[in-house]
């Protein structure tokens, strides 16, 4: 009895292990033996602009398979497949008659129309597996921002990569029961449908983006620069309305066979590359001076007159010159607004030195320099600031007019926006919301106010001064009749191998409007233009084109 009880106990334990512990694994193995499955790739979610315009979408194509054991008339099947798909008959026949395999791939990415023709033929042993095909309706448009996907539909760069977990859908499958040798059992199929990915809605306005793309193409044609770049920003909340750089490529024809071209042209240089901003940085220096004076801690107000008889300054043995010769007393006595209009380097050198490195660096930090903007994008750089403890007077003097400091174009946009929008530094954003096609909005991306850089009073004064730069100063070619436009030009000589590169400049203009109540900001950069190099001549006219486009799209009424 003891022996019998022991044997029954061992048998019970074995059955428990097989049924409970090992059961699911055995069921899976059994299912694999009597079924064949085809993966149904889920459609990738759409990317749309702020108005719902589709920027990236996916369509269903099919992969065609043959299960040789299930094909009844092999020659006829091979002939039909070859004729409809435009393939070689002998090669198809080899696959159809192949032994020792459960299924063979015949063709990939076949359109639905062609698949429907094959289905009408009633071929046995021929199967169709859904696959997602990524399409970009506008082609070479928003290339570096959208990014591209791999051949398997996985985000590789840009927003396709950053929001990949939302865009990826859930794959389905088609299960078919078969007999011992792999022949299909009639009418025994199980269909688990795929689920499309979520829709990513951006802050981008495709109408403004189209204007920017066309203007940059024009700049590339007229000046043959290394690059031409532009950002359009909503200064009231940090939303990016347009962002592009040229050259680029058609997202429907990704140059995967040219890795150097792919790496160079797919990089979003507006937030991954840094440069010395030059005179556009004087907006920050002016803001710091006005704010310190407003707080009663020094600085210079809008009425202070700078007696600027010399066109040069010598700081710690380093000579700093104005672009103007100061002939006939030109630039001699200037207020801050005049210094902005004339873009006079020595005055901004004086301002930076009067503020001192501790105070000036406090404002650099408040305006976001030296740290990332935290935009929702991969690869952002933080720019370069000399460590405060290492800053010499010569360094400080040059930082005052945009040298010895490097920034990303996006950083400069956010800082300038803070200088004129009432003093608020916002975190930029490209995402507006994530939307499910059935349940609606599942995630929103609210505006984030990082800090107050300057007071509202200082901001208004500065915006008014910068309006003068466009109406009376170096930014005249960005002036739009009937509208209050403010801005600042910049012409920065590039550094290469630790020294100034002869004849190589970054020409820029950063502008905003309406200047009495700023809403839109435009940064235009032309890197190494041929024939001209002043930002006032090269960049400002293109910025004007973008501003005129914004006025037209949003039907902005003229101002008195």
By annotation, the residues acting in catalysis are 279
How many whole angstroms separate alpha carbon 441 and alpha carbon 479?
Answer: 41
Cis ω for the linkage preceding 247 (within 30 of 0): yes
What distance separates the 2 farthest-apart alpha carbons in the chain?
124
Report the candidate in 119, 167, 117 with the shortest Cα–Cα distance to residue 146.
167
What burial class does residue 88 get, using C-beta atoms within 10 Å of its C-beta: 0-12 exposed, 13-18 middle, 19+ buried? exposed
Pairing state between β 47-48 and 54-66:
antiparallel
Beta carbons of 52 and 206 less than 8 angstroms apart: no
The answer to whether 319 and 313 have CB atoms below 8 angstroms apart is yes
- DSSP letter at 18? I
Under 8 Å between Cβ of 298 and 364:
no
Distance between CA 315 and CA 348 in Å, rounded? Answer: 13
Q: Cα separations (Å) of 408 from 405, 461, 496? A: 10, 26, 17
Alpha carbon of residue 444 to chain centroid: 18
CB 510 within 8 A of CB 280: yes
Paired residues of 436 in beta bridges: 440
User: What stretch of H or E contains 75?
Assistant: helix 74-85
Edge-to-edge strand ranges of the sheet holding 184-192: 35-40, 172-178, 184-192
Q: Where are the alpha helices (DSSP H) in 422-494?
A: 456-471
Q: Which residues partner with 66 through β-bridges?
A: 104, 126
d(CA 483, CA 550): 12
466 within 8 A of 420, measured Cβ to Cβ: yes
Q: How far apart are CA 538 and CA 222, in angstroms?
A: 10
First to last CA, the chain: 109
**Edge-to-edge strands, sheet with 520-527:** 240-246, 227-234, 520-527, 499-513, 486-496
CA 278, CA 404: separation in Å to the nearest integer? 9
Exposure on the CB side of residue 394, measured as CA atoms within 13 A: 8
Place of tokens 């033996």: 33
504-537 burial, b for 16+ CB within 10 Å, e for fewer?
Answer: bbbbbbbbbbbbeebebbbbbbbbbbeebbbbbb
Give bridge partners of residue 246 from the DSSP assignment: 228
Q: Residue 471, exposed/middle/buried by CB under 10 A (0-12, 13-18, 19+)?
A: middle
């Amino acid at each position: 009895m003891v022996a019998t009880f022991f044997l029954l106990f061992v048998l019970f334990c074995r059955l428990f292990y097989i049924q409970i512990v090992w059961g699911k694994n055995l069921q899976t193995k059994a299912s694999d033996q009597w079924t064949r499955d085809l993966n149904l790739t889920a459609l990738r979610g759409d990317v749309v602009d702020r108005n719902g315009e589709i920027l990236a979408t996916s369509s269903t194509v099919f992969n065609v398979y043959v299960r040789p054991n299930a094909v009844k008339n092999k020659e006829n099947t091979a002939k039909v497949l070859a004729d409809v798909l435009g393939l070689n008959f002998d090669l198809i026949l080899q696959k159809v008659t192949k032994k020792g395999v459960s299924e063979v791939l015949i063709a990939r990415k076949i359109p639905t129309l062609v698949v429907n023709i094959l289905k009408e033929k009633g071929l046995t042993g021929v199967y169709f597996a859904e696959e997602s095909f990524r399409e970009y309706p506008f082609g070479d448009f928003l290339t570096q921002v959208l990014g591209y996907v791999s051949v398997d539909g996985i985000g590789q760069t840009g927003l396709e990569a950053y929001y990949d977990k939302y865009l990826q859908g859930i794959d389905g499958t088609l299960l078919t029961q078969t007999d011992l040798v792999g022949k299909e059992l009639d009418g025994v199929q199980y269909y688990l449908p795929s689920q499309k990915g979520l829709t990513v809605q951006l802050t981008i306005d495709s109408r403004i983006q189209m204007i920017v793309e066309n203007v940059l193409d024009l700049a590339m044609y007229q000046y043959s620069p290394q690059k031409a770049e532009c950002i359009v920003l909503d200064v009231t909340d940090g939303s990016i309305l347009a962002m592009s750089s040229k050259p680029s490529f058609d997202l429907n024809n990704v140059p995967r066979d040219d890795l150097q071209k792919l790496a160079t042209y797919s990089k979003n240089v507006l937030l991954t590359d840094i440069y010395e901003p030059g005179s556009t940085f004087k907006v920050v220096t002016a803001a710091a001076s006005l704010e310190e004076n407003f707080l009663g801690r020094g600085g210079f107000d809008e009425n202070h007159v700078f007696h600027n008889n010399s066109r040069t300054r010598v700081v710690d043995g380093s000579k700093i010159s104005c672009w103007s010769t100061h002939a006939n007393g030109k630039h001699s006595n200037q207020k801050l607004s005049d210094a902005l209009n004339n873009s006079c380097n020595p005055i901004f050198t004086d301002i930076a030195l009067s503020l001192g490195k501790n105070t000036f660096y406090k404002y650099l930090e408040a305006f976001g320099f030296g740290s990332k903007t935290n935009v929702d994008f991969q690869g952002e750089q933080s720019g370069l600031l000399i460590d405060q403890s290492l800053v010499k007077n010569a360094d400080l003097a040059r930082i005052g007019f945009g040298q010895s400091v490097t920034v990303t174009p996006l950083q400069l946009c956010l800082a300038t926006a803070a200088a004129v929008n009432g003093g608020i530094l916002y975190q930029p954003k490209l995402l507006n919301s994530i939307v499910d096609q059935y349940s609606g909005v599942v995630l929103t991306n609210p505006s984030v106010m990082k800090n107050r850089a300057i007071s509202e009073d200082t901001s208004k004064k500065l915006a008014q001064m910068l309006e003068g730069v466009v109406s009376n100063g170096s930014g005249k070619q960005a002036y739009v009749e009937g509208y209050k436009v403010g801005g600042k030009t910049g012409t920065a000589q590039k550094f290469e191998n630790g020294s100034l590169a002869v004849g190589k400049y970054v020409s820029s203009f950063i502008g905003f409007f309406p200047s009495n109540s700023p809403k839109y900001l435009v940064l235009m950069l032309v890197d190494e233009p041929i024939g001209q190099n002043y930002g006032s001549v090269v960049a400002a006219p293109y910025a004007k084109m973008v501003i005129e486009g914004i006025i037209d799209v949003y039907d902005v009424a003229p101002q008195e």
